[in-house]
């Protein structure tokens, strides 16, 4: 119920902001004609396509609530609108979402492996060289803008590596596909791994820090001390008592950071030519395609809320102290 309220608020906020943006920026329909001055009837026709033919879009400060109500009604019937050339938003999402989900999956796995593994190592060797090394490197990678990494990868590494792989193992070998300079629709998994890995690397640092912190806390916790005093080996203690227990906040963070990866997706999808949610949304914002923007963000918000809810449940499963009434 609360989720529904939040969703409604997000949509309303978004509607008000896009409306204001159109009112301030002027008629996006005109840009459609480029260097030509359109005839008035044409302009009218295009405004209709954009769904901007209502008077309220020309009056600054008018919230256009009637339009919002109409949109909600359409959404209720499963009609999420179309882009300016009449392509249904649901169709766009159906094409774009699988690629973004693939990307997110790779990112999440990268985070989990990097975070859990390096975070545990850092915590285990707290204050010693591995700890400092891991933290330094993770901060550096974190601070490194993702577009620089992708650009260098795409322009310097892909061509020679994929060429060498193709010569050595064959043109359609996994190796050659892995290092393709752009996403390929024919090999959607192989060509998304490296971009996802790079995006995942840049986001892994906060995660790693969280794992390290929560494990450090556990090292000093009572149950771990008890385990140690029982004479259990350090390796056993680390694996069964520390790593397992510190996975609770990690699960939380996966859900939380999931939402944050979308911005990185805009850049990654754009540079690696992946037709995904981030890139489409970004393009729609640039072209002032209101119905696409609101439709997609609403869908994304629904996903975010669902993920958060799922994480909540998982959280309760992992930590017996939390119970729902």
Partner 1 sequence: MTDPSTAAAVAAHADQPIGPGSRSLWQDTFRTLIRRPDVIIALLVTLFFVFVALFPGVFTQTDPQRCDISVARIPPQWFGGQFPLGTNQQGCDVLAQVVHGSRPSLLLAFVVVGCSLVIGLVLGTISGFYLGWVDMIISRVLEIFLVVPLLLAALLLLSMFRNVPIGGPLASIVQPAIVLTAFGWMGYTRYVRASVLETKNLDYVMAARVLGASDGRIMFRHILPNAIGPVTALVPTAIAGVIATEAVLAFLGIGVRRPAVSWGIMISDGSQWFTGGSPHLLLVPLTCLLATILSFVVLGDNLRDALDPKLR
Partner 2 sequence: MKARSLAAAAAALTLLVAGCGGGGNPGGDTSSAGGDKTVRLALTQDVETLLPMDSNVGDNIGVLEVVYDGLVRYDAQSTKPYNYIAEDVSSTDKTTWTIKLKPDFTFQNGEPVDAASFARAWNYAAYGPNGMANNYFFERFVGYDEMQGVTEEDDDGKITVQEEPKAKELSGLKVVDPTTLTVELTGPFVGFPTMLGYTGFFPIAQACLDDIEGCAKKPIGNGPFQIDQWEQGVRMSASKWADYKGSETPNYNKIEWTEYKGSSSWPDFQAGDLDTGAPPPSEWQSANNDPDLTSRKVVRPGAALTYIGFPLYKGAPYTNIEFRKAISMAIDRQAIIDQVLPGQEVPADSWVVPNGVPGGVAGTCADCKFDPTAAKAALAKAGGWPKGQKLKISLGQDDANEQYFQAIGNQIKLNLGIDYELDPAPDFFARRAARKFDGAFRNNWFPDYPLNENYLVGPYASGDAKNGNDTLGFYSKAFEDKLAEGDKAPDLDTAVTKYQEAEQELAKEFPTVPISFSQSVAFYSENVDNVVLDPFSGSTKLRLLNYVG
Q: Which residues are at the interface with partner 2 (CB under 8 A)?
A: 25-28, 30-49, 55, 58-59, 84-87, 92, 95-96, 154-155, 158-159, 162-163, 166, 180-182, 184-185, 270-273, 275, 279-280, 283, 286, 288
Q: Choosing among partner 2, partner 1, none, which partner's interface includes residue 139 (Cβ < 5 to 8 Å by kind)?
A: partner 1
For residue 172, the minimal CB distance to partner 2 (Å) is 12
Q: Which is nearer to partner 1, 138 or 190 (CB)?
A: 138
Q: Choosing among partner 1, partner 2, none, which partner's interface includes residue 124 (Cβ < 5 to 8 Å by kind)?
A: none
Q: Phi-psi region for residue 101, left (φ > 0), alpha (ψ -120 to 50) or beta? A: alpha
Q: Choosing among partner 2, partner 1, none, which partner's interface includes residue 39 (Cβ < 5 to 8 Å by kind)?
A: partner 2
Q: Which is nearer to partner 1, 238 or 304 (CB)?
A: 304
Q: Which is nearer to partner 2, 10 or 89 (CB)?
A: 89
The CA dihedral of 258, 259, 261, 266, to the nearest 10 degrees, is 140
- Beta-carbon contacts of 31 under 8 Å, excluding residues fewer than 6 positions away, are 287, 288
Q: Which is nearer to partner 2, 30 or 66 (CB)?
A: 30
Q: Choosing among partner 1, partner 2, none, which partner's interface includes residue 312 (Cβ < 5 to 8 Å by kind)?
A: partner 1
- Beta-carbon contacts of 244 under 8 Å, excluding residues fewer than 6 positions away, are none
Alpha-carbon distance of 75 to 102, in angstroms, equals 26
For residue 101, the minimal CB distance to partner 2 (Å) is 16
| In contact, 292 and 89? CB cutoff 8 Å | yes
Q: Choosing among partner 2, partner 1, none, which partner's interface includes residue 280 (Cβ < 5 to 8 Å by kind)?
A: partner 2
| In contact, 180 and 191? CB cutoff 8 Å | yes
Q: Which is nearer to partner 1, 80 or 207 (CB)?
A: 207
Pick from 307, 312, 109: nearest CA to 203: 109
Q: Which helix (H) or strand (E) segment is 241 a member of?
A: none
For residue 192, the minimal CB distance to partner 1 (Å) is 20
For residue 186, the minimal CB distance to partner 2 (Å) is 9
Alpha-carbon distance of 260 to 264, in angstroms, equals 8
Q: Which is nearer to partner 2, 6 or 273 (CB)?
A: 273
Q: Choosing among partner 2, partner 1, none, which partner's interface includes residue 300 (Cβ < 5 to 8 Å by kind)?
A: partner 1
For residue 296, the minimal CB distance to partner 2 (Å) is 13
For residue 162, the minimal CB distance to partner 1 (Å) is 16
Q: Choosing among partner 1, partner 2, none, which partner's interface includes residue 117 (Cβ < 5 to 8 Å by kind)?
A: none
| In contact, 203 and 260? CB cutoff 8 Å | yes
Q: With b meaning 16 or more CB within 10 Å and e meaning fewer, what string describes 236-268?
A: ebbeebbbebbbbbbbbbbbbbbeebbebbbbb
């Amino acid at each position: 119920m609360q989720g529904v309220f939040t969703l409604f608020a997000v949509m309303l906020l978004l509607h008000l902001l896009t409306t204001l943006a159109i009112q301030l920026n002027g008629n996006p329909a005109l840009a459609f004609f480029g260097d030509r001055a359109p005839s008035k009837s044409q302009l009218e026709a295009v405004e209709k396509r954009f769904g901007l033919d209502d008077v309220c879009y020309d009056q600054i400060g008018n919230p256009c609530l009637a339009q919002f109500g109409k949109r909600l009604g359409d959404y209720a019937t499963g009609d999420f609108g179309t882009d300016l050339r009449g392509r249904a938003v649901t169709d766009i999402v159906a094409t774009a979402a699988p690629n973004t989900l693939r990307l997110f999956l790779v990112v999440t796995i990268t985070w989990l492996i990097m975070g859990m593994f390096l975070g545990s190592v850092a915590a285990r060797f707290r204050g010693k060289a591995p700890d400092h090394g891991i933290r330094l490197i993770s901060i550096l990678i974190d601070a490194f803008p993702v577009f620089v990494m992708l650009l260098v990868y795409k322009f310097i590494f892909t061509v020679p590596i994929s060429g060498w792989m193709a010569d050595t193992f064959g043109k359609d070998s996994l190796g050659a596909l892995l290092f393709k300079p752009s996403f390929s629709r024919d090999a959607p998994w192989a060509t998304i791994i490296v971009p996802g890995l790079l995006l995942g690397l840049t986001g892994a640092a906060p995660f790693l820090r969280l794992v390290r912190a929560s494990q450090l806390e556990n090292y000093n916790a009572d149950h771990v001390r008890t385990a140690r005093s029982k004479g259990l080996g350090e390796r056993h203690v680390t694996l069964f008592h520390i790593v397992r227990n510190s996975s609770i906040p990690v699960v939380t963070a996966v859900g939380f950071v999931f939402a944050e990866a979308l911005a990185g997706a805009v850049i990654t999808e754009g540079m690696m030519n992946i037709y995904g949610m981030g890139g489409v949304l970004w393009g729609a914002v640039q072209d002032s395609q209101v119905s696409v923007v609101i439709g997609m963000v609403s869908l994304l918000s629904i996903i975010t809320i669902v993920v958060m809810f799922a994480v909540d449940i998982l959280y309760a499963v992992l930590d017996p102290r939390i119970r729902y009434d």
